[in-house]
Amino acid sequence: MKALVTGAAGFIGSNLVEALVECGDTVVGFDNLSTGRMENLKSVEGKPNFKFQKGDIRDSASLDQACRGVEVIFHEAAIPSVPRSVENPRESFDVNAVGTLNILLAAKTAGARRVLFASSSSVYGNSDVLPVHENVAPRPISPYGASKLAAEGLGHSFSTSFGVTFLALRYFNVFGPRQDPKSQYAAVVPKFLTGLLTGGKPVIFGDGLQTRDFTYVGNIVAANLLAAARPDIQTGSYNIAAGDPHSVRELLEVLCDLTGRPYDPGFSPRRPSDILHSQADVSAARRVLGFQPVIDFREGLRLTVKSADLQRVAVR
């Protein structure tokens, strides 16, 4: 299989590229390096079945070039931050929705058979139904969630109009190695972990009782490989998660236990557009994709801490 991975130098994209290259697939990595880093692709550097192309998904000509001969597109490129989308809604929509339109047009031109889109649990908003399943009406409360939902709508319409199979994989709170802790919009796991390893004081927004379906990146990669490989899958949206929610306080407690640091958080007011509770029903992904999360919450955090410790040793 020849595949294109957008956002290839980012957190999820680089983990996916690594898995595809190890499987023997021919992979084109596409990234504008605005937040992604070439360091994330060190494991595939020089491999004969990997090629990197710097480009932006808002540049149609660059995308058309990257898509030539591609069978499957793994579309991971995005501006993934809810707080950033609140500060700059236009930027989030331009990259996440209009950028996805460009991907779909390029897929149509190239004759790609399938587009796998990195969607988000944010499309559901504060759902009254938990665990949330795919038949629950989406009600995003952030511009980020709205941009992802708009992109899903575009993908499903292209499937009907042009025959490109489109799968929206709705990720829930992904964490793991290579997740950037330095951005002011960094996700909670790398922020907490970096604070603990550098002697800082982790800060909890709100009371910390909000729950998330934290999902290790290896489970996300496995779901993508399954969705690409199964020839009979039809267009649709699927929750990809562990299906096992934990509070933010519990997250910090486990990280403190794994790093040997004391539990002593600071607290700040709850951020706008943060949902209160999130849990996925993954039965559709199990039934249709054959998906089964195999790395649980604590083991995923252990692997993440181990990776962070190794990186610190390398820096020294």
Q: Which positions are annotated as active-site residues?
A: 144
Task: Please report, for residues 165, 267, 292, the alpha-carbon distance to residue 182 in angstroms, rounded to integers and kept in the order given.
Answer: 36, 20, 31
Q: How far is CA 197 from CA 187, 193, 232, 259, 288, in A?
A: 16, 6, 46, 7, 40
Q: How far apart, in whole angstroms, are the C-alpha atoms of residue 87 and residue 183?
A: 15
- Burial class of 64 by CB neighbour count within 10 A (0 to 12, 13 to 18, 19+): middle
Give me the numbers of helices (H) and strands (E) for the chain, helices first please.
11, 13
Give the angle 105-110-116 at the CA atoms, nearest 5°.
Answer: 65
